[in-house]
Amino acid sequence: MKRIGALFVLFAFLTLLLSGCWNRRELNELAIAVAAGVDRVDDRYRLSVQVVVPGQVASKKAGGSQAPATLYTAEGDTIFEAARRMTQVSPRKIYFSHLRMFLIGESMARAGIAKFLDFLMRDHEFRTDFYLVTTKGATAEDTLKIMTPLESIPANKLFNSLQTSERVWSPSLTVTLDELINDLSNEGKHPILTGLEITGNREAGETPENVNAIKTDANLRFVGLAIFKVDKLIGWLNETESRGYRYIKGGVKSSVAFVPCGDKGKVTLETVRSHTKVTGKILGSKPEIEIKAFVEGNVGAVECRGLDLIQTKTIDELESKMEKKVEQLMKSVIAKVQEEYKVDIFGFGEAIRRSHPGFWRRHKEDWDDRFFPNLAVRIKVDYHIRRTGTLNNSFINDMKE
């Protein structure tokens, strides 16, 4: 009996040490944020948050009168203050742990993004795996108002579309909060973010009718890459230049390009894999960069007569044309950034820092102004065609003249 009594006292004591759910939050007390955006308005932060409407998302009934997501906005002298002010309009506390997209308004990006990024890194509710993009030609608030087809929640559309665009069409790029902070903190490279714009009738895009038609009045489209000098937006790369940037950085998983053949015909090739090796060198007292790009692709379509894909010579010629095309893509974007923006977004400074740390320590302060604009970059592209699809030679060869 004494032993049983002692065990009872011990268990009773241990229960006092067990922590309870003192800070629990019930789901019906929270507003789940799936996207957020920040704009600069008269030297104040304007925070917009897209929140899921649980009843509409869970309901399987079509044609509901309420949208599946709603947008709350608030202003403050800091982004933290704006987030707290949002409780004045939201019936529930905004919960950011399920955030998928964060939009930086173009005006905010030009003013500088470092200060509000500190809040995103510091607050325990923000995970770091959401994607950040920069709006182009519109505010983050207006962009988050657009209703989208296929995905009932616009934030999910943006998240999935950006992943798909990066995977199958190379000009887009996914950037997480951790990756952006690394680019801001590390020496020898300035940040890059994907651009996002509204196409079509903006006002019509804010209504539920925008998703009820086969052809929508407005849509959201990822467009080019935004160039930052430290934490301030200074310019844009167009679609072609963005593809060149992606080839320089490597990791292109899928992209499409064509080379001429025959009389006004084209052979379309799909890049399926690429990686690059960037090496920094010092020749005399001048830095140089060597880029070796290894690219693999497949023949996607043939539009010309007389092209014999069975012959090794034909494949060699196509590979040579693609090597020149990819090399030109890379050269053109490097030239534009060197001449127009004069900021190293490619990480060439990182390559010099790795290979010649002494040179980098002496010249890192004037790398962008003195060395990068005149930096010699030597490019070697090695393109290999792996497959020709389910056909060898096209049936066009057998068509009657």
More confident residue, 157 or 24: 157
End-to-end CA distance of the chain: 106
**Could you tell me whether strands 30-41 and 93-95 are parallel, antiparallel, or unpaired per DSSP bridges?**
parallel
pLDDT at 77: 95
More confident residue, 2 or 105: 105
Topology given in CATH for the domain delimited by 240-398: GMP Synthetase; Chain A, domain 3 (3.30.300)
User: Are the beta carbons of 52 and 71 closer than 8 angstroms?
Assistant: no
Is 70 exceeded by the pLDDT of residue 26? no
The CA angle 128-368-285, to the nearest 5 degrees, is 125
CB-based burial label for 43 (10 Å; 0-12, 13-18, 19+): exposed
More confident residue, 120 or 18: 120
Distance of alpha carbon 220 from alpha carbon 223, whole angstroms: 10
Q: Kindly list the domain boundaries of the chain, sorted by start residue.
A: 27-237, 240-398
User: Are the beta carbons of 33 and 99 closer than 8 angstroms?
Assistant: yes
Residue 391: CB atoms within 10 A of its CB come to 10
Question: Which residues lie below 8 Å from residue 391, measured CB to CB, with a gap of 6+?
Answer: none
Q: What is the pLDDT of residues 226-280, one digit of tens each?
A: 999 999 999 999 999 999 999 999 888 889 999 998 777 899 999 999 999 999 9
Confidence of residue 373 (pLDDT cuts 50, 70, 90): very high
pTM: 0.87
In this structure, the chain runs to a length of 401
Smallest CA-to-CA distance from 154 within 249, 35, 47 is with: 35
The alpha-carbon radius of gyration of the chain (Å, integer) is: 27
Q: What is the pLDDT of residues 176-215, one digit of tens each?
A: 999 999 999 999 999 999 999 998 877 767 676 666 667 7
Question: Which residues lie below 8 Å from residue 201, measured CB to CB, with a gap of 6+?
Answer: 217, 218
Which token pair is 362?
């002496």
**Could you tell me whether strands 69-76 and 192-200 are parallel, antiparallel, or unpaired per DSSP bridges?**
unpaired
What does the DSSP assignment read for 202-259? Answer: HHHHTSGGGGTSSS-SEEEEEEEEEEEETTEEEEEE-HHHHHHHHHHH-----EEEEE
The DSSP H or E segment spanning 129 is none
